[in-house]
C-alpha cells in the first residue's frame, strides 16, 4: 500500500538498479541545540529544551551528469515549561523532519517527499509564507516540511517555472486561518521572470480546508480555496520588494471568505562602522465577505536592524507594531561564533494577545518581557 514515503523510496531504489558508471556520495551531519528562557509575566515562567536534527545525505551521479540524491533527517526534541517547585508541563517527540528523493538535470529538478518549500521576496511579514513556519526572529530558521512532489525548470535567462502537488498535510501554515483537508491533494505553480535590475513572479495554489468548530462561522468539512499572488524585487540603490496575495474560499464564511494582503519593503546598508543594514516592511491586510470590500482592514509595520560587530559577532533587532491594536513586539539578538558552536543571547517583549501579528509565532513566544539563551552545535 502506498503512503507518503512511497515515491521517494521508489526513486532511491531506481538508482541502485541502473548499471551506468556513476559516482556515489554519502554524508552524515546534524545540528544540536539547547535553549532556555525566562519570562516573569507567565504562570510557567521558565522554559528549557533541546533539539537534535541528524541528517543523512546520499548522492548518485550518472554518466550523463544527472544526479539522484536523497535526504533523510529527524526532529528529536524535548522541552519543559515550569514554575520552580510548583508545576510543570513537558513535551517531546521524535518525528521525520525531511525525507525526500530528488532527480536533477542540467535545467530541471524533481523532488518528492517530506521537504521544505518556500519562496517570495518579503523577509519579516510574508503573505507568501504558504508552506513553511519560519519565524524571522528564529536564528536557526526551523520549520517543519510538507509532503509532496515539486518540479522546477530553469531557463537560460534565469526565468524558472515551479509546479507542485501536496498531499497528507493538515496543520496550518503561515497566515492560514483554517486547517487543510489532508485527504484531498493540494496543487499549484509559480512562474518567476527576470526584469530590469530585479525579478517578478506570479503564483497560484489550490487547497481544500475545513473548519473544526463554529467560532461564530459556519462549519464545513470541505472548503475549496484558491490563492493568487504577485511578488517582485529590485536593487536600485536601495532594495525594494512587494508581495501581494488574494485568497478566496468558495463557501460563505463571513469575513473569512476573502483575504487580501500587500507587503511593501525596503532595505539599505549604511556605511556606519562595519555596515548597518536596516529593513522596513509594512503589511496591509483585509478580511471581507465579498472580495476587496476593505471593511476589516489592518496594518502591521516591521523593522529590522543588523550590525556585524566583528568577524565572529553580530547583533540584530526586530520591532513589530500593529496599528489596529496598538501593540508591539520587540526582539534583540546577540550572536557569537565559537570554533564549533554558535551562542545566542536574546531579549524579547511580546504583547499578551499576539494574534494580530499573523505568522509570527516563534516557539514558545511568551507574553511580556523575557530573555532567551541558546547554544548550537553543527557537525
Is 31 a residue whose pLDDT tops 90?
A: yes
Which SS3 state, helix, strand or coil, does residue 292 take? coil
Beta carbons within 10 angstroms of residue 126's beta carbon: 27
Say what the pLDDT of residue 23 is. Answer: 79
Residue 324, domain member (yes or no): yes
Say what the pLDDT of residue 352 is. Answer: 83
User: pTM for the complete prediction?
Assistant: 0.89
Residue 280 and residue 151 in one domain: yes
* CA distances (Å), origin 346, targets 165, 301, 310: 38, 21, 18
pLDDT tens column, 154-166: 999 999 999 999 9
How high is the mean pLDDT of the chain?
91
Q: Number of folded domains in the chain?
A: 2
Residue 69 and residue 127 in one domain: no
pLDDT tens column, 160-206: 999 999 999 998 888 888 889 999 999 999 999 999 999 999 999 99
CATH number of the domain at 301, please: 2.40.160.100
Is 363 a residue whose pLDDT tops 90?
A: no
Say what the pLDDT of residue 141 is. Answer: 93
Say what the pLDDT of residue 63 is. Answer: 87
Distance CA 206, CA 242 (A): 22
Residue 206, domain member (yes or no): yes
Beta carbons within 10 angstroms of residue 82's beta carbon: 15
Range of the domain at 362: 116-378
Residue 61 and residue 151 in one domain: no
Residue 252, domain member (yes or no): yes
Q: Which of 1-10, 230-239, 261-270, 306-315 has the lowest mean pLDDT?
A: 1-10
Residue 73, domain member (yes or no): yes
Residue 326, domain member (yes or no): yes
Residue 102, domain member (yes or no): yes
Q: Which residue has the higher pLDDT, 362 or 269?
A: 269
Residue 111, domain member (yes or no): no
* CA distances (Å), origin 359, targets 73, 176, 236: 25, 8, 29
Reported as type and span, the H/E element at residue 13 is helix 6-17
Residue 203 and residue 337 in one domain: yes
Residue 127 and residue 73 in one domain: no
CA 110 vs. chain centroid, Å, equals 21
Residue 339 and residue 316 in one domain: yes
Amino acid at each position: 500500500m502506498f503512503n507518503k514515503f512511497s515515491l521517494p523510496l521508489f526513486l532511491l531504489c531506481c538508482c541502485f538498479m541502473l548499471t551506468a558508471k556513476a559516482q556515489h556520495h554519502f554524508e552524515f551531519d546534524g545540528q544540536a541545540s539547547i535553549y532556555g528562557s525566562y519570562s516573569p509575566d507567565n504562570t510557567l515562567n521558565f522554559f528549557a529544551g533541546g533539539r537534535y536534527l541528524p541528517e543523512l545525505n546520499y548522492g548518485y551521479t550518472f554518466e550523463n551528469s544527472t544526479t539522484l540524491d536523497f535526504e533523510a533527517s529527524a526532529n528529536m526534541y524535548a522541552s519543559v515549561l515550569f514554575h520552580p517547585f510548583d508545576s510543570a508541563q513537558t513535551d517531546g517527540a521524535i518525528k521525520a523532519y525531511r525525507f525526500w528523493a530528488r532527480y536533477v538535470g542540467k535545467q530541471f529538478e524533481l523532488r518528492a517527499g517530506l521537504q521544505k518549500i518556500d519562496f517570495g521576496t518579503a523577509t519579516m511579514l510574508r503573505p507568501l509564507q504558504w508552506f513553511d513556519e519560519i519565524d524571522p526572529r528564529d536564528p536557526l530558521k526551523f520549520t517543519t516540511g510538507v509532503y509532496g512532489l515539486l518540479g522546477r525548470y530553469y531557463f537560460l535567462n534565469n526565468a524558472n517555472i515551479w509546479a507542485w502537488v501536496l498531499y497528507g498535510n493538515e496543520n496550518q501554515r503561515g497566515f492560514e486561518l483554517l486547517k487543510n483537508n489532508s485527504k484531498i491533494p493540494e496543487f499549484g505553480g509559480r512562474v518567476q521572470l527576470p526584469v530590469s535590475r530585479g525579478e517578478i513572479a506570479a503564483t497560484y495554489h489550490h487547497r481544500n480546508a475545513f473548519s473544526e468548530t463554529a467560532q461564530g462561522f459556519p462549519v464545513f468539512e470541505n472548503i475549496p480555496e484558491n490563492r493568487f499572488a504577485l511578488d517582485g524585487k529590485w536593487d536600485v540603490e536601495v532594495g525594494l520588494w512587494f508581495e501581494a496575495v488574494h485568497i478566496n474560499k468558495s463557501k460563505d464564511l463571513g469575513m473569512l471568505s476573502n483575504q487580501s494582503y500587500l507587503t511593501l519593503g525596503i532595505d539599505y546598508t549604511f556605511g556606519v562602522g562595519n555596515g548597518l543594514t536596516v529593513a522596513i516592511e509594512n503589511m496591509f491586510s483585509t478580511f471581507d465577505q465579498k472580495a476587496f470590500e476593505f471593511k476589516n482592514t489592518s496594518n502591521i509595520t516591521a523593522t529590522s536592524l543588523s550590525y556585524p560587530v566583528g568577524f565572529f559577532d553580530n547583533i540584530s533587532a526586530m520591532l513589530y507594531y500593529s496599528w489596529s491594536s496598538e501593540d508591539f513586539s520587540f526582539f534583540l539578538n546577540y550572536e557569537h561564533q565559537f570554533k564549533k558552536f554558535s551562542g545566542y543571547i536574546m531579549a524579547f517583549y511580546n504583547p499578551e494577545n499576539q494574534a494580530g501579528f499573523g505568522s509570527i509565532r516563534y516557539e514558545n513566544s511568551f507574553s511580556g518581557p523575557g530573555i532567551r539563551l541558546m547554544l548550537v552545535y553543527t557537525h
